[in-house]
Amino acid sequence: MLEIITSPTSFFILLSLFFVGGIGSLFFLKNDKQANGWSSFFAIVGSLWGLFFSIAAILTKSSLLFDVKTSFFSLFKMSFHIDLLSSFFIFVISLIALFCSIYGIGYIRHYYKKYNIGVLGFFYNLFIGSLILVVTSSNGILFLIFWEIMSISSYFLVVYDNHDDDNVKAGLLYLVMTYIGTSFIILAFLLLYKYIGSFDFLIIKDNIALVPTSIKNIVFVSAFIGFGLKAGIIPLHIWLPAAHPAAPSHVSALMSGVMIKSGIYMMVRLFLDILQPVPFWWGLVVLVVGSISALLGVLYALTEHDIKRLLAYHSIENIGIILLGLGSALTFYSLNLPALALLGLMAALFHTLNHAIFKALLFLSAGSVINETHTRNMEEYGGLIKYMPQTALFFLIGSVAISALPPFNGFFSEWLTYQALFQGIAQMSFTTQWVFILATGSLAFTGGLALACFVKAFGATFLARPRSKEVTYVKESVLSMRLGMGGLALLTLLFGIFSGYTISLLKTISQGLNIFKDSASAVNVSSSQSINVSNGFSSISGMFVFILLIVTTFLVIFVFKKIINKKQKECTTNTWDCGTNLTPRAEITATGFSRSIILIFKGLLKPTIQHSIEYYDDQNRYLPKSRTVTLNIGNMYHTYLYQPLHMVINKLSVRAKAIQNGNIDLYISYIFVALMLALLVIL
């Protein structure tokens, strides 16, 4: 049975489900309801199929390699290679796509009559299908085609809500940045092709010794820029906080949870699989970039009061944390410590999975809030927990998970990442050790700041009194949306409790990579599901943590509610108001909450504050009519990186204009000169 599920035929059925779902929904352009039903149905069935396919592949440890016969071009072979790493990413994609699609059934309804649902269904299915193709294709050109389909379909999803000019602008920025990234990726593949003569990943891997180290370094830099741009590393992240909030929420969840991980997938594939052995400094570069992305990502998140942009910045932070795991894996492996390298890779993969789950959950619950309040501005929320109690609970679970609090899944993957870094501090030589110390420090501060940020996000959104009238009309979201969120919320807990089991599976997956085939692992999972790192340096058990916390909570509630004090009365009155009338304006706002942290980090964030006061009488300034304080965070990347770059390109273009005066004779002479030069060079 399992062999049938993991066959190539089954893989094509998986793809065709999304294909049928996508094309089919285009036929329902007239009927919104049917289009929604059709596309969601096929997306759900396809994701389920993907789940079965990937789980079966992981459990049977099967690796699938097959070509589709095409003889158009010799270089372009439709070859797919589904090893355990690919299966793992198919699992993550299908898992998130499943819950996003369930959520989508209800969520899409608010687009009825306003936008074309068939088009949404088409691009949505195309997007999921292309994600799966990206992580399975085994040929450079084929890969680039799917990569582009993924980028373009997500571009159309970003600009789907095109009545808002900001979304269109965000889409354009996304498109431009994506193409810059793709050009770097093409450069990397072309360089490899020059020395090996093939775009096929397996052939490149077998002949990697033909590539000189200097070229390999260039390949590393361009691939890291290209894939890092998709993953959203700082300073290449600028498209991410613009594009993710613009898309419909279930698509934002997919983009943040899964699409940016395709960059991580290719980094693992290239750096740990295809290009091995690699120079030592690559790992350190990845570590440093990871630390910077993690710390700055969370700091920018703190400055945001747009709920989806806040979550988008947290994606940057978490990509940084994943890169910390990956970077330590690279460093360890090039120092010939495969057991520790395996630990680093497992940490990175585990955090990839966990981040996908809780980030999707957070985006979906933020989407429910936005759907009801029609604003993304957190300052206009407040008190939503009373109007949408279940959504609030789901958002709370997501916040707890992303802040790495036990017993939820985020804690266990961050724990594993910490262990990889601790081993780096303990075992590396002097200079390398300092990189690891700084990375650990960055991770520690990131954890603390993320906690502060989610207190702010949850508190400002759901707690206290409503700060705008819109909130009082809010109703709880429909069943399918709650199902989508509830499923993911349950998963955050389950992947925490069964982290031991998950880690032992991740070990199998990581050992599927060639370089780890025979290496022992620094992580062992005992029979009682406790995770031990490097011969007892650390150990933790998800199950035990969960039981301990739950049992003690019930014990405490039982003792204090039933034994000590049974007859206590509780009366409900107003919050203490110091004798004034307590209005929502007395509450702390999202901006106010993070202001002290912003001021502490003002060297990095460069906040600007503008005061303006309007008086009743401009002549004698005693009675102010209104005061406005504008707190702004300067965009360093625009001012110091992108604008200078823009200026340079502009100036070069102006110079280049001089030789293009529109005279056709001149152009013909250019062609003639170019031809002569080319002939001269060749002859």
Partner 1 sequence: MSILIWIIQLIFVPAFSPLCVGIIRKIKAKLQNRQGANVFQPYRDIWKLLHKDEVVSKDASWIFRFTPYIVFTVTLVVGFCIPLFLPHVLGFVTSDILFIVYTLAIGTFFMALAGMDTGSAFGGFGSSREMTISALAEGGFIFSLLTMALIVGSSNLFDITSFTRSVNSQYFLPTILAFCGFFIILLAETARFPFDNPATHLELTMIHEAMILEYSGKRLALMEWAASNKLLIFIALGANLFFPFGFPTNVGFMALALGIFYFLMKMFLFCVAIAVLESSIAKFRFFRLPDLLLISFIFNVVAIGLIQSIK
Q: Which of 23, 180, 191, 425 binds partner 1 (CB under 8 A)?
A: 425
According to the binding rule CB under 8 A, does residue 454 interact with partner 1? Answer: yes
CA–CA dist 387, 135 (Å, integer) = 41
Q: Which is nearer to partner 1, 120 or 400 (CB)?
A: 400
Q: Which is nearer to partner 1, 262 or 541 (CB)?
A: 541
391-408 b/e with 16+ CB inside 10 Å = b?
bbbbbbbbbbbbbbbbbb
According to the binding rule CB under 8 A, does residue 231 interact with partner 1? Answer: no
Torsion of CA 164, 168, 169, 171, to 10 degrees: 140
Per-position x/- string for 237-276, each x denoting binding to partner 1 as judged by CB under 8 A, each - no binding: ----------------------------------------
Q: Which of residues 659-678 bind partner 1 (CB under 8 A)?
A: none
According to the binding rule CB under 8 A, does residue 539 interact with partner 1? Answer: yes
Q: Which of 84, 294, 369, 545 binds partner 1 (CB under 8 A)?
A: 545
CA–CA dist 617, 641 (Å, integer) = 45
> Residue 255 carries which side chain, given as an amino acid letter?
M
Q: Which is nearer to partner 1, 48 or 425 (CB)?
A: 425
According to the binding rule CB under 8 A, does residue 310 interact with partner 1? Answer: no
According to the binding rule CB under 8 A, does residue 386 interact with partner 1? Answer: yes
Q: Which is nearer to partner 1, 222 or 594 (CB)?
A: 594
Q: What six digits make up the tokens of 238?
A: 């600028």
Q: Which of 115, 445, 501, 637 binds partner 1 (CB under 8 A)?
A: 445
Q: Report helix, strand or coil for 538.
A: strand
Using a 10 angstrom Cβ sphere, with 0-12 exposed, 13-18 middle and 19 or more buried, the burial of residue 641 is middle
CA–CA dist 90, 70 (Å, integer) = 25
Q: Which residues contact 305 (CB under 8 A, 6 or more apart)?
A: 377, 378, 379, 460, 589, 590, 591
Q: Which residues contact 238 (CB under 8 A, 6 or more apart)?
A: 173, 177, 635, 637, 638, 642
Q: Which of 196, 357, 464, 488 binds partner 1 (CB under 8 A)?
A: 464
Q: Which is nearer to partner 1, 190 or 444 (CB)?
A: 444
The one segment of 117-125, 215-223, 317-325, 577-585 that binds partner 1 by CB under 8 A: 577-585
According to the binding rule CB under 8 A, does residue 411 interact with partner 1? Answer: yes
CA–CA dist 29, 446 (Å, integer) = 46
DSSP state of 560: I
According to the binding rule CB under 8 A, does residue 165 interact with partner 1? Answer: no
Q: Which of 584, 631, 633, 635 binds partner 1 (CB under 8 A)?
A: 584
Q: Which is nearer to partner 1, 600 or 649 (CB)?
A: 600
According to the binding rule CB under 8 A, does residue 579 interact with partner 1? Answer: no
Using a 10 angstrom Cβ sphere, with 0-12 exposed, 13-18 middle and 19 or more buried, the burial of residue 668 is exposed
Distance of CA 33 to the CA centre of its chain: 31
Q: Which of 65, 588, 609, 678 binds partner 1 (CB under 8 A)?
A: 588
Q: What six digits make up the tokens of 679?
A: 């002939």
The one segment of 212-220, 332-340, 482-490, 564-572 that binds partner 1 by CB under 8 A: 564-572
Q: Which of residues 362-381 bind partner 1 (CB under 8 A)?
A: none
DSSP state of 270: I
Q: Which residues pair with 123 in a beta bridge?
A: none
Q: How far is the CB of 521 from partner 1 (least distance, A)?
A: 18
According to the binding rule CB under 8 A, does residue 540 interact with partner 1? Answer: yes
> Residue 519 carries which side chain, given as an amino acid letter?
S
Long-range contacts (CB closer than 8 Å, 24 or more residues apart) made by 574-582: none
According to the binding rule CB under 8 A, does residue 597 interact with partner 1? Answer: yes
DSSP state of 575: P
Q: Which of residues 36-65 bind partner 1 (CB under 8 A)?
A: none
Q: Which is nearer to partner 1, 111 or 544 (CB)?
A: 544
**CB 416 within 8 Å of CB 348:** no
Q: Which is nearer to partner 1, 195 or 445 (CB)?
A: 445
CA–CA dist 207, 254 (Å, integer) = 36
According to the binding rule CB under 8 A, does residue 570 interact with partner 1? Answer: yes
The one segment of 83-91, 191-199, 306-314, 399-407 that binds partner 1 by CB under 8 A: 399-407
Q: Which of 70, 213, 553, 632 binds partner 1 (CB under 8 A)?
A: 553
The one segment of 72-80, 168-176, 360-368, 395-403 that binds partner 1 by CB under 8 A: 395-403
CA distances from 137 to 83, 142, 177, 270, 675 (A): 11, 7, 23, 13, 39
According to the binding rule CB under 8 A, does residue 629 interact with partner 1? Answer: no
Q: Which of 190, 210, 600, 677 binds partner 1 (CB under 8 A)?
A: 600
The one segment of 66-74, 206-214, 355-363, 441-449 that binds partner 1 by CB under 8 A: 441-449
Q: Which of 118, 325, 327, 406 binds partner 1 (CB under 8 A)?
A: 406
Handedness of CA 319, 325, 326, 331 (dihedral sign): positive
CA–CA dist 301, 666 (Å, integer) = 54
C-alpha closest to that of 69 among 58, 59, 80: 80
Q: How far is the CB of 473 from partner 1 (least distance, A)?
A: 18
